[in-house]
Amino acid sequence: MATVELTAETFEKTVTSNGIVLVDFWAEWCGPCKRFAPVFEEASEKHPDVTFGKIDTEAEQQLAAAAQITSIPTLMAFRDSILVFSQPGALPAPALDGIIEQIKGLDMDDVKAQLAAAQEGETAQS
C-alpha cells in the first residue's frame, strides 16, 4: 500500500477509521525527511495492513502546530485512534519495522486501562 497525503480535512477520519496509522510529518526543504521518505514508503509496501500517511508541515502548518511538531521528520503512530508512539528523527528501516511490530503487538485493552488510570489521576489532582 502506498503512502497517502494527509490534510487537516482528512487527518481525523484517517486516524479514526483505520486500525493502525503511521504518520510522517515532513517538509520539502528537510534533508533528513528526504532520506526517511524511501524507508517510510518501503515499509508501507511491506505492511499493507497499516495505513501510512504523510503530512507536509509547510502546507499543513495548523495541523503540525496542533500535533505539537517541533522537529521534523516526526513519526507518530495511532492504534484504534490512540496515539501510541511519537518520536522525532529519521529511522533506519530495521528500527521502523521493529516499531511497527511492537505497535501490532500492543494489548490495547491494557493501553486503554492505563489511559483511563492516568486520566483519573489527573482529575483527582485538579
- Among 33, 77, 91, 103, the active-site one is 33
The catalytic position among 20, 23, 30, 64 is 30
The whole-angstrom separation of Cα 50 and Cα 17 is 12
**Within 13 Å, how many C-alpha atoms sit on residue 64's CB side?**
20
**CA distances to 23, 25, 44, 66, 89 from 37, in Å:** 11, 10, 11, 22, 12
Altogether, the residues listed in the chain come to a count of: 126
Active-site residue 30, yes or no? Answer: yes
Query: Is residue 126 annotated as a catalytic residue, yes or no?
Result: no
Q: Which residues are catalytic?
A: 30, 33
